[in-house]
C-alpha cells in the first residue's frame, strides 16, 4: 500500500491551453493532487476570466483558479515550465512552437505531433502542417514503449485513446517480430461517449445513446493510421508489421475503452508463453497490469485511474491470439498519460500525482 513519497519542494509550473473540454477537466483533477506539478494558468477562449469551479461544478472547493484573463494563449508564453495543449486539431500545430521557444516543455493531447513525418500527417489530416520542423523531434508519448526517448524530449505527441489501448495490447508481440506480417490485425474497440468530447450532438444525446451500441468511422478512422505508424516503429529493423483494420464502437458508458485485438502470430503461442512474455515486457511499468487467467479486463476496474489492464489468449481453433486492453480513455488515454509523460520528462517517479485508485463500482 506504500505509494510514492511526496516531498512538496521543487514544484514545476504547468499551463493548460484549451480549457473547456474533458481532457482539461481531467488535467485539472490530476494536477489538483500532484505533489510536484502545479497549475499556473489555464486558458480557454470561451471562459476568459471565469472561475474554473463555476464551469466545472465537480471542482468547487478543489480548484480555486480562474481562467486566464487574456484573449490569446500567446500572452502566457514564458509563464509555465510545462504546457499542455488540450485543443482541437490544428491549434497546437500553430501555437506549440511559441511555448517551446520560450523554453517550456509541451505535451500535446491533440494529434498534431503524433506523426513523425509530414507526409503521413498530411495524408491523414488532409492539410499541411504549419510547423513540420518540430515533427522529427516530437516523441510519441507512451512511456511503456518509448520511455528512453521521452526522458529527453521537449515535445510530446500524446497518443490517441484507441492507439494507447491497442498498442499496449500488441507491443510485446510486435517488438519481437512475433506477428505474422501476412495476416491483417483486427482491432475492434468500444469507447465510452466521453471519447467524443464534451460538445453535445445527436449521437451523444442521452436518449438515443443509452441502450445503444453503434460502430462508426468504418473504415477510415484517423486512429487506424496512427496505430499502423507506431506499430511499424515497434517491429525490429528489417521486419514489417501486418496491416491493420480498426472498427470503433460507441457504447452507453461515459468512460472506458476496451480494445480487442486479433492477430495471427508467427507461430503457435500457448497461453503460458504469451502470459510470460507480457509479464516480462511490462514488469517495470507500474501502470500496466497483466491479468492472471482466468481474469479478463473490464473498463470499470480502471475507471478514473491511469491503469491499463491487459489479458492475452491463444485461440487454437482459429490459430490467432486475442489481446484485450482496458483503459480509462480520459486518463491513460489522455490526461493521465500526459501527466505520466511529464513525470518521465522530469525524471520523477512515473506514478507521481496519478495514484487515484480506480472507482468501482
User: Beta-carbon neighbour count of residue 75 at 10 Å?
Assistant: 13
Query: CB of 196: closest distance to its own copies in angstroms?
Result: 8
Give the interface segment with its own copies, choosing from 81-89, 128-136, 168-176, 207-215 (CB under 8 A). Answer: 207-215
232 near its own copies (CB under 8 A): no
Q: Which residues are catalytic?
A: 161
Query: CB of 153: closest distance to its own copies in angstroms?
Result: 26
- 164: enclosing H helix or E strand: helix 161-175
* Under 8 Å between Cβ of 125 and 92: no
Would you give the binding string for its own copies spanning residues 183-202, x where CB under 8 A is met? xxxx-x-x-xxx---xxxxx
* Under 8 Å between Cβ of 302 and 288: no
44 near its own copies (CB under 8 A): no
Query: CB of 41: closest distance to its own copies in angstroms?
Result: 12
Residue 351: burial class (beta carbons within 10 Å; 0-12, 13-18, 19+) = middle
Task: Tell which positions 120-149 bind its own copies, by CB under 8 A.
Answer: none
Give the interface segment with its own copies, choosing from 89-97, 142-150, 159-167, 205-213 (CB under 8 A). Answer: 205-213
Query: CB of 259: closest distance to its own copies in angstroms?
Result: 10
Grid coordinates belonging to 175: 517488438
The count of residues interacting with its own copies (CB under 8 A) is 103
Backbone angles phi, psi at 314, to 5 degrees: -95, 130
Backbone angles phi, psi at 188, to 5 degrees: -110, 120
25 near its own copies (CB under 8 A): yes
The number of residues in the chain equals 361
In the complex with its own copies, the residue whose CB is nearer, 58 or 128, is 58
240 near its own copies (CB under 8 A): no
Residues 6+ apart with CB under 8 A from 351: 3, 4, 286, 287, 343
In the complex with its own copies, the residue whose CB is nearer, 132 or 265, is 265
C-alpha–C-alpha distance, residues 221 and 163, integer Å: 11
289 near its own copies (CB under 8 A): yes
208 near its own copies (CB under 8 A): yes
Residue 124's nearest CA partner among 223, 247, 216, 240 is: 223
Give the interface segment with its own copies, choosing from 52-60, 66-74, 106-114, 127-135 (CB under 8 A). Answer: 52-60
Task: Tell which positions 63-122 bind its own copies, by CB under 8 A.
Answer: 63-65
Backbone angles phi, psi at 159, to 5 degrees: -70, 160
In the complex with its own copies, the residue whose CB is nearer, 123 or 152, is 123
Query: CB of 322: closest distance to its own copies in angstroms?
Result: 6
Amino acid at each position: 500500500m506504500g505509494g510514492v513519497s511526496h516531498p512538496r519542494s521543487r514544484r514545476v509550473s504547468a499551463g493548460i491551453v484549451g480549457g473547456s473540454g474533458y481532457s482539461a477537466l481531467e488535467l485539472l483533477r490530476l494536477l489538483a493532487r500532484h505533489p510536484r506539478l502545479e497549475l499556473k494558468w489555464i486558458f480557454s477562449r470561451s471562459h476568459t476570466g471565469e472561475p474554473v469551479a463555476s464551469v466545472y461544478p465537480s471542482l468547487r472547493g478543489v480548484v480555486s483558479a480562474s481562467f486566464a484573463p487574456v484573449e490569446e494563449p500567446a500572452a502566457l508564453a514564458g509563464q509555465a515550465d510545462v504546457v499542455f495543449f488540450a485543443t482541437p486539431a490544428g491549434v497546437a500545430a500553430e501555437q506549440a512552437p511559441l511555448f517551446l521557444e520560450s523554453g517550456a516543455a509541451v505535451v500535446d493531447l491533440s494529434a498534431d505531433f503524433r506523426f513523425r513525418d509530414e507526409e503521413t500527417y498530411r495524408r491523414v489530416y488532409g492539410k499541411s502542417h504549419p510547423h513540420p520542423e518540430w515533427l522529427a523531434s516530437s516523441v510519441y508519448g507512451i512511456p511503456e514503449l518509448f520511455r528512453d526517448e521521452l526522458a529527453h524530449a521537449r515535445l510530446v505527441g500524446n497518443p490517441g485513446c484507441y492507439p494507447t489501448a491497442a498498442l499496449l495490447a500488441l507491443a510485446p508481440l510486435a517488438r519481437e517480430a512475433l506477428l505474422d506480417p501476412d495476416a491483417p490485425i483486427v482491432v475492434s474497440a468500444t469507447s465510452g461517449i466521453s471519447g467524443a468530447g464534451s460538445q453535445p450532438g445527436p449521437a451523444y444525446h442521452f436518449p438515443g445513446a443509452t441502450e445503444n451500441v453503434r460502430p462508426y468511422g468504418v473504415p477510415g478512422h484517423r486512429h487506424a493510421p496512427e496505430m499502423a505508424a507506431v506499430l511499424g516503429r515497434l517491429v525490429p529493423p528489417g521486419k514489417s508489421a501486418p496491416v491493420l483494420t480498426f472498427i470503433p464502437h460507441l457504447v452507453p458508458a461515459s468512460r472506458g475503452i476496451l480494445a480487442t485485438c486479433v492477430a495471427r502470430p508467427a507461430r503457435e503461442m500457448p497461453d503460458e508463453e504469451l502470459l510470460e512474455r507480457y509479464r516480462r515486457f511490462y514488469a517495470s511499468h507500474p501502470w500496466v497490469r497483466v491479468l492472471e487467467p482466468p481474469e479478463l479486463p473490464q473498463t470499470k476496474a480502471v475507471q478514473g485511474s491511469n491503469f491499463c489492464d491487459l489479458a492475452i489468449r491463444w485461440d487454437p481453433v482459429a490459430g490467432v491470439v486475442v489481446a484485450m486492453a482496458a483503459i480509462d480513455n480520459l486518463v491513460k488515454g489522455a490526461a493521465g498519460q500526459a501527466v505520466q509523460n511529464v513525470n518521465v520528462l522530469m525524471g520523477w517517479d512515473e506514478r507521481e500525482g496519478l495514484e487515484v485508485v480506480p472507482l468501482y463500482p
